[in-house]
Amino acid sequence: MNILVTLNENYVGPLKVMLWSLFFNNPGESFRVYLIHSSISDQSVAELEAFVSKKGHTLHVIRVQDDWFTDAPVVLHYSKEMYYRLLAYKLLPAELEKALYLDPDILVINPIRELYDTDVSEYLFGAAYHEMISVKEINMVRLNAYEMEEYFNTGVLLMNLTLQRQKLNEEDVFAYINKHKSRLILPDQDVLNALYGKETERLNEFQYNYDARYYQYYKFLSDGEIDMDYVMRHTVILHFCGKRKPWHSNYIGKFHSLYKHYETLALREN
């Protein structure tokens, strides 16, 4: 399976935890991990390579050069890295037909094969809606009179690279961003929703992009069905969305112990 990650130096630690959980819960699978970045140190890249190959998988590093994305508009405090996910189809090897993008603030706790094999042949992306977005996000959206027909979360993106090469266009992305510069909240997510929401296949949120902040909400919403038992048996991707991260010392949350245990395991084996 082709896994795509894009991040900066600050997320190298969490990335290891995410990859460790992916490898551990998918024995018998072989992963090609593509890392698109522009700022990670050579030492960290070398350590990552060793980490991945020790587990029998391969890391493929694509370092974005300064003279790429020169036409891309710069938005506030966001770096150009926000484009790597949407325009990965241009950076990944031409022969790749499919890839699964994963945020580094994720734990993979069950086999990922069914997700990877989801048929997105008619779609550009596969992604999960997040039904619940935080009050703050809603307020920002209201403030910006932003249309909210669809709201896919881009932390887990199944990519139909073949179709993307035919239909995606960086000029569209740049034009959209230029036009909405002042009211983008989460740039790449907003762009995907605005430009490609209708060409995105909807994935099951509870299985493939479970927002770790909303245990109580999901349980309530499902009349108790989506309890801890359900999550541990059926959820493949636990996503630690939001500003508070489980690797911060003041984190509080239902999956704190699970995350920290995986962190320990990932470090122990390294």
Residues forming contacts to a second copy in the complex (CB under 8 A) are 109-110, 227-229, 231-233, 249, 251, 254-258, 260-261, 263-264
- Rounded to a whole number of angstroms, the minimum distance from the CB of residue 233 to a second copy is 6
Which DSSP letter does residue 72 get? S
Nearer to a second copy, 162 or 270 (CB): 270
Nearest by Cα to 265 from 25, 7, 81, 8: 25
- For a second copy, the closer of residues 34 and 255 by Cβ is 255
CA dihedral 248, 253, 254, 255 (to 10 degrees): -20
Q: Name the residue nearer to a second copy (CB basis): 78 or 215.
A: 215
Q: How far is the CB of 234 from a second copy (least distance, A)?
A: 10
CB of 89 to a second copy, least distance (A): 35
Give φ, ψ of 57 to 5 degrees.
Answer: -115, 180
Report how far residue 159's alpha carbon sits from residue 140's, in angstroms, rounded to the nearest whole number. 28
Beta strands 98-102 and 152-160, pairing class: antiparallel
Cβ distance to a second copy smaller for residue 174 or 215: 215
- Closest approach of Cβ 255 to a second copy, in Å? 5
* 99, 139 Cβ separation under 8 angstroms: no
